[in-house]
Amino acid sequence: MNPIKKSLQAFGAAALVMGSAMAITAPAVAQDVSLSDILRRVQQDSQQMSAEDQRRLQEFRSDAATQQQKMQQARADLNAAEARGRQLSAEFDQNERQISQLSAELETQAGDFGELLGQFRSAAGETMPIIRESLSNYEYSGRAEKLAEVSEARSLPTREDLDALPKAMLREMIAQSEVKTFTADVAGAGPEGEVVNTELMRVGIFTAATTDDARFVEVITDNTDEPYLRVLKAQPSGDFQSAMKKLINASEGDVVITPVDPTKGDLFAVQGEMPGIGERIGQGGVVGAVILVLLAIGAAFAIFKIATLFLMGSAMRKTAKTRQAGTGNPLARVFEQYENNKNQDLESLELKLDEQILRETPKIERFNDIVKVLAAVAPLLGLLGTVIGMIITFTAITNFGAGDPKLMAGGISVALMTTVLGLVAAIPLLLLHAVAASLARGNQQILDEQAAGLVAERAESNTGAA
């Protein structure tokens, strides 16, 4: 058996093995395939692959020629662009030299006018931001843009350009004396804080407020390309708004006192951020609340005691005139004791009267000691709050350092407000205690005088009888 036949037999055996494997997954393949058919199919596949390779080789050679043509065209375009660039660069350099020459000629011919023009542009550049941030700029717009154009122009200004600066300054001077209404877009003027075109009342170039609710506005320039109006986040106290409402509602010819902020809103913003009385009291913390409770209790006791002693004194003075015995007031009860023991000897009568006076004294001086103690405790609590506030301050300094004063503000506020509240509680309580003690001494003196008078009358009657 020759080698070719052996190869064909081996190839056929391999094909049969492959056919058997394919028959497992594809039962539809025929089982009786001859070696000649397999060889013919292999030859056909080989010829098809050779033809495909030739076709791909031909396409590659054709694409290579096309790419070569494109490469040559791109190189030609690049050379043309570089030549055009060199030409434009030469023209640019020539124009720069010509501009420099013309500028030198212009400076020579302008002479003093050139220096004056420089000063004019400098003045326009300095005036432009002032007008740009002015309240009047939202009513008389366009001035800042014109000044910016004049200050940045490289050509000689026209007569109209030269008139722009004095006209803008004159308009600003007139606006300083005006009290007018105008409309502008204001941020935060809407119900939900949106930008709304609303009517404003302007006082010169310093103060402006909305005409509907007298809310002050300010010009915002920080971190913005263009300044804009915004309602102050924290409005100043009610006195300022009341004065502004009077101006808004005033008729022509009325004289109204109006608040003016020369900083164009900064001072009003600071005033609005200042805490009110409630916030100040809240800064005292728990100690401040305790002091206020003690003040309320002490004041209630003191007022009650003053009213009671005043009514008691009035009743005792009336009883002193009538000498009517009874149980309505301390002096009436002293007279009652006298009536019950007037037949006893003088010494016993005097002892009975002193006993009744001693019995009435605690009723007269009741609650006075409580007011006195509360008046003494209040400043001590204030001192306690001061110590607590200083502890809070030093703790903040220890943890965060002393670089930011706001971190220490809370402790300092506690220290100061508790001291203030302690003094505020102690001073009126001491005054009320002094009034109550004075009334109590007065009532006590009435009892002592009337009792001494009764004893003296009894002694005189005994002397006359003897």
Is a pLDDT exceeding 50 seen at residue 7? Answer: no
pLDDT for 427 equals 94
- Of 440, 293, 302, 289, the closest CA to residue 370 belongs to 302
- How does pLDDT run across 359-372, given as a tens digit for each residue? 888 888 888 889 99
Q: Is residue 198's pLDDT more than 80?
A: yes
14 pLDDT above the threshold of 80: no
Burial class (CB in 10 A: 0-12, 13-18, 19+), 435: middle
Instruction: Considering only residues 62 and 25, tell me which one the structure prediction assigns the higher pLDDT.
Output: 62
Domain ranges of the chain: 43-105, 111-177, 179-274, 283-465
- Interstrand relation of 179-187 and 228-231 (parallel, antiparallel or unpaired): parallel
**Which tokens is 21 given?**
């494997």
Which residue is listed with tokens 């003040």? 295
Place 33 in a pLDDT band, splitting at 50, 70 and 90: low
Is pLDDT of 25 > 50? no
CA dihedral 386, 389, 393, 398 (to 10 degrees): 100
pLDDT tens digits along 56-101: 888 877 777 788 888 888 888 898 899 998 999 999 999 988 888 8
Average pLDDT of the residues in 98-110:
76
* Residue 290: per-residue pLDDT: 93
* Least confident stretch, 173-177, 235-239, 418-422: 235-239
Per-residue confidence (pLDDT) for residue 337, from 0 to 100: 86
Q: Checking DSSP bridges between strand 207-210 and strand 179-187, what pairing results, if any?
A: unpaired
- How many CB atoms lie under 10 A from the CB of residue 26? 9
Mean pLDDT of the chain: 81
**DSSP label of 138:** G
Q: What is the pLDDT of residues 413-449, one digit of tens each?
A: 888 889 999 999 999 999 999 999 999 999 899 888 8
Both structure tokens of 169: 């300054």
* pLDDT confidence bin for 224, thresholds 50/70/90: low
Distance CA 180, CA 200 (A): 8
Confidence of residue 377 (pLDDT cuts 50, 70, 90): very high
What is the spatial distance between Cα 410 and Cα 418, in angstroms, rounded to a whole number?
A: 12
Render the burial of 309-328: b for 16+ CB within 10 Å, e for the rest. beebbebbeebbeeeebeee
Q: Could you write out the DSSP letters of every residue in 25-85?
A: H-TTS-S---HHHHHHHHHHHHHHHHHHHHHHHHHHHHHHHHHHHHHHHHHHHHHHHHHHH
How does residue 146 score in pLDDT terms, banded at 50, 70 and 90? Answer: confident
What local confidence, expressed as pLDDT, does residue 112 receive? 61
If one compares 441 and 281, the residue with the highest pLDDT of the two is 441
pLDDT, residue 299, reads 94
| pTM recorded for the entire structure | 0.55
Check pLDDT > 70 for residue 110.
no
Interval 393-401 mean pLDDT = 80
- CA dist., res. 456 & res. 449, Å (int): 10
